[in-house]
Amino acid sequence: MTTCRSARGAPRRWGFGSSGSVTGRGALCERDGGERGDPGVDRPALDWRSDDEAAHHSGVTRPILILFAHPSYEKSRVHRHLADAVRGLPGVTFHDLYEAYPDHDIDVKGEQELLLAHEVVIFQHPFYWYSVPPLLKQWMDLVLEHGWAYGRDGTALRGKALQVVLTAGGREAAYQTEGFNRHTFAEFLRPIEATARLCGMPWGEPWIAAGTHTMSEAGMREVARDYAALVTRLGGGAG
Ligand SMILES: Cc1cc2nc3c(=O)[nH]c(=O)nc-3n(C[C@H](O)[C@H](O)[C@H](O)COP(=O)(O)O)c2cc1C
């Protein structure tokens, strides 16, 4: 168990396990511990960037939609690094759901059009109570409509890859059958995997940065580089 601080500076304890590791395509490494810095950075402006020309020249063949869901980005340490690493990449549309929908009033048709314009969909989020943050769940509830995303005529997403990119306070060792949390990440992610299957979306091995509570700044930068390489690979470039 490690200690972190809320925005007001009061210590808060989390008991999900602890460490620093990345699992997923092409990465498995341990990170050292480190102190929390003062976040003090505002949420980035909504960015729908998708530079077709740059994408063409960089070899990107599959446009990527990153659905970013972080309920308290102003306190974020890790996702700030991750977001900065991928936001400007060619062929990437970085879509911050909490920025776009502060009232959680999701534009369903707009989201569906966005999905149709991309070949790879990434769910980027922190692990919250062993699950996705609420706005991402609401996005799933509303946007993945019967007859559109699934069901007899629901083929809109068929063939578009779904990639989970998540961070977790607990260490990977805590996410084992005999570990602190008693279940693996794969088990906790079954509902998302089943959703992908129902929608005909190929499921990529989840990319997970675990042990964030004790991750150093250097560790976070390394994790962010690894994430950028993953996104580049998914887009068809040489990551
Ligand atoms: C409400 C809440 C619930 C959380 N639930 C979990 C959890 O179930 N498992 C876990 O390992 N970490 C959990 N954490 C820790 C976060 O996943 C972790 O702080 C986050 O991934 C770090 O990314 P960030 O620095 O960008 O916020 C939780 C944190 C909060 C605030």
* Tens-place pLDDT, residues 6-17: 222 232 333 455
Our answer on whether the CB atom of 129 is closer than 6 Å to any ligand 1 atom is: yes
Residue nearest atom 30 in ligand 1 by C-alpha distance: 128
pLDDT at residue 74 in the model: 97
Instruction: Label each residue of 112-140 as H, E or C.
Output: HHHHHCCCEEEEEEECECCECCHHHHHHH
Q: What atom in ligand 1 is closest to the CA of residue 166? A: 21
Q: Which residues in the chain land under pLDDT 50?
A: 1-15, 18-19, 25-42, 44-51
pLDDT at residue 145 in the model: 98
Span from the CA of 168 to the centroid of ligand 1 (angstroms): 5
Residue nearest atom 27 in ligand 1 by C-alpha distance: 76
Domains of the chain: residue spans and CATH:
2-234 (3.40.50.360)
pLDDT at residue 151 in the model: 97
pLDDT at residue 21 in the model: 63
Q: Which two tokens stand for residue 11?
A: 């210590």
pLDDT at residue 1 in the model: 26
pLDDT at residue 7 in the model: 25
CB contact at 8 A, 20 and 33: yes
